[in-house]
Amino acid sequence: MQQPNWYKNSVFYEIYLRSYMDGNNDGVGDFIGLTKRLGYLKRLGVDCIWLLPIYPSPRLDDGYDIADYYSIDPDYGSLNDFKKLVKEVHKRNMRVVIDLVVNHTSDQHPWFQSARSDPNSPYYNYYVWSDSDQRYQDARIIFLDSEKSNWTWDEKTQKYYWHRFYSSQPDLNYENPAVREEMLNIIRFWLDLGIDGFRVDAVPYLFQKDGTDCENLPETHEFLKKIREFVDNNFPGRILICEANQRPKDVVKYLGREDEFHMAFHFPMMPRIFQALRSCDKTHVEETIKQTPTIPASCQWGTFLRNHDELTLEMVTNEEREWLWREYAPDPKMRLNLGIRRRLAPLLDNNQGKIELAYSLLFSLPGSPFIYYGDEIGMGDNISLPDRDGVRTPMQWDTTLNAGFTKTNQNNNPVISDPEFAPAMVNVQKNINERHSLWHKVKRLIKIRKKEPALQTNEITLLNIEDKRVLAFIRTNACERLIIIHNLSNSRIDFNFDYPAAEAKTYIDLISQIEIGMTIASVKGTLEPYQSLWLKPKKRNILGYKKLSII
Ligand code: NOJ
């Protein structure tokens, strides 16, 4: 497993354990269940799984409110089950990262319980208290739909405490060296168990300072560098992934000079992909590619289409957000905070061509792609469930009871029942059995991506094509160039553009295996609705390819 920079070209798969696979039939997904499904993930081409919080928690924010950093939520199994999972993951030459919530704890955490019961408790200064709720007024409220302030009054202490998320999630006080030390101990504990790293939650908010928006402060970066140093010194090869929903110019600072995070999620690209797919216009995707700063050699972006949260629209203008809401969330129940609480397939009208195009964009752009569980088979959502629960429903394995997720009759975790997305229509088994399913397409794109070194660099050059519906770019490595062309529209489009640097007379579309001809100076062909071409110069005469067009 000693491959330095393994994360730079890995396919990640995000798992909400509670809904993935129930191994002991109590209606809750768990480690035993997931362990049984590792073969499925390996077959899809997943390199690394990311587990949402697995710690004991009152679950007022679905586990992002931790009550004990050193153990496992008993619903998910024992520490031994977890160790077994890690071992089985590694046996398959895959890896596992887990969520680490650094910014806040649950108000049920013994530290907070002790702090609020006694101002002389050593834990009192683990949190941020104030006599007034007027401090740090420039800090925005993130959970806009449920919180009115970042301060909550505590009767017991007769003080306000600071929180950037739900009031049940008091922020830790990073001014306190004891808190910083606690966090390093927690990191050591989990890395000692053999995990491959952390997805670090909500990193921009660790410190507060009057007169600032309390995000991305220098003190925050300084502490994150300490974490990195600690990890590098004690656990080389393990990684830190940054969750900072910020503009690229701010996010890139979290990669530092290869001395903070190894990876950071590319938040701005995601809404632009949805914008492009709806407007059939590549403009904003191209702009985002241009605005994405170069990152240090050992770092990588984490790219994604959807995740366990609402599709956040913080990175677009107010008018664009209104437009995206109108287009993608016409029912107010589909909206949450500044985002849209829906899954990939329903967002894209359950149109397989469009969903495949979204994946083709994801896998052909620079960055390591993250797949959200269930989106590889086109699972639906349930907007009648509260908060973000509607995109966290049980994985649909087959058509048996509870979609094969659990065998109990007492399942409290409702499976999608909307006939269009119900297990009868959408499930793993069906996807695997049908040759042209979404699952097979995703698997194929992953396979090609892994085989093509040009797709594994961060080199990208946009091709200048006037037609806004056609997004085309070159991906390069030292030896080879691939031409990638996407049709963002539902129309058939003939394309013909200058390409003076053609290496070969014939190119092969790696997706369809069809040949396409070139002249010395241009590339010409036809794109079907939502089709992507991943064109590779044909060097040798390979028999068996169908000819599409020869100029
Ligand atoms: C970001 C996580 O993705 C989200 O699910 C959570 O609610 C907040 N951070 C607070 O921890």
Among the listed residues 111, 298, 302, the one whose alpha carbon sits nearest the alpha carbon of residue 198: 302
Mutual angle of helices 318-328 and 269-279, in 10-degree steps: 60
Residue 540 pLDDT > 80? no
The pLDDT tens digits for 465-477 are 999 999 999 999 9
Residue 541 pLDDT > 80? no
Question: Rounded mean pLDDT of 400-413?
Answer: 96
Question: Rounded mean pLDDT of 406-424?
Answer: 97
The ligand 1 atom nearest the CA atom of 64? 11
Q: Which residue has the tokens 């169908």?
A: 546
The pLDDT tens digits for 102-115 are 999 999 999 999 99
Partnered with residue 369 across adjacent β-strands are: 303
SS3 336: strand
Produce one character per residue of 462-480: b if its CB has 16 or more CB atoms within 10 Å, e if not.
ebebebebbbbbbbbeeee
Label each residue of 224-286 as H, E or C.
HHHHHHHHHHHCCCCEEEECCCCCHHHHHHHCCCCCCCCEEECCCHHHHHHHHHHHCCCHHHH
Cα separation, 60 vs 482, in Å, equals 47
Task: Verify whether ligand 1 is closer than 6 Å to residue 309 (CB atom).
Answer: yes
Yes or no: say if 344 and 378 are a contact pair by the CB < 8 Å rule.
yes
Yes or no: say if 265 and 241 are a contact pair by the CB < 8 Å rule.
yes
311-312 β-sheet, strand order: 311-312, 339-340, 335-336
Which position among 243, 286, 381, 515 bears the catalytic label? 243
Backbone angles phi, psi at 416, to 5 degrees: -60, 130
The ligand 1 atom nearest the CA atom of 104? 11
Task: Verify whether ligand 1 is closer than 6 Å to residue 202 (CB atom).
Answer: yes
Question: How much of the chain, in percent, has pLDDT values that exceed 90?
Answer: 91
Residue nearest to ligand 1 atom 5, measured at CA: 309
Distance from the CA of 246 to the center of ligand 1, in angstroms? Answer: 14
The pLDDT tens digits for 223-255 are 999 999 999 999 999 999 999 999 988 999 999
Mutual angle of helices 352-364 and 269-279, in 10-degree steps: 140
* Ligand 1 pocket, mutate which of 51, 60, 61, 142 (most atoms under 8 A from CB): 61
Query: Residue 356 catalytic?
Result: no
**Residue 546's pLDDT is what?**
41
DSSP H/E element including 201: strand 197-201
Distance from the CA of 538 to the center of ligand 1, in angstroms? Answer: 46
Compute the CA torsion angle 217, 218, 223, 229 (nearest 10 deg): 130
The ligand 1 atom nearest the CA atom of 243? 1
Which position among 99, 201, 310, 376 bears the catalytic label? 201
pLDDT band of residue 2 (cuts 50, 70, 90) is: low
How far CA 296 is from CA of 165, 178, 222, 252, 256, in Å, comes to 31, 32, 18, 9, 8
* Ligand 1 pocket, mutate which of 200, 201, 245 (most atoms under 8 A from CB): 201
The ligand 1 atom nearest the CA atom of 309? 5
Tell me which long-range contacts 449-453 makes (C-beta under 8 A, separation of at least 24).
449/11, 449/363, 449/364, 449/369, 450/9, 450/11, 450/45, 452/480, 452/482, 452/510, 452/534, 452/536, 453/477, 453/479, 453/480
Distance from the CA of 64 to the center of ligand 1, in angstroms? Answer: 6
The pLDDT tens digits for 186-217 are 999 999 999 999 999 999 999 999 999 999 99
Compute the CA torsion angle 25, 31, 36, 42 (nearest 10 deg): 150
Residue 502 pLDDT > 90? no
Looking only at the bridges linking them, the beta strands covering 514-517 and 339-340 are: unpaired
Looking only at the bridges linking them, the beta strands covering 532-537 and 506-509 are: antiparallel
Task: Verify whether ligand 1 is closer than 6 Å to residue 516 (CB atom).
Answer: no
Q: Specify the range with the lowest mean pLDDT, choosing from 105-114, 267-276, 537-546.
A: 537-546
Cα separation, 176 vs 121, in Å, equals 14
Question: Rounded mean pLDDT of 349-358?
Answer: 98
Residue 399 pLDDT > 60? yes
Distance from the CA of 201 to the center of ligand 1, in angstroms? Answer: 7
Residue nearest to ligand 1 atom 2, measured at CA: 201
Distance from the CA of 364 to the center of ligand 1, in angstroms? Answer: 28
Q: How many CB atoms lie within 10 A of CB 26?
A: 14
Distance from the CA of 202 to the center of ligand 1, in angstroms? Answer: 7
Query: Residue 133 catalytic?
Result: no
Question: Rounded mean pLDDT of 47-59?
Answer: 98
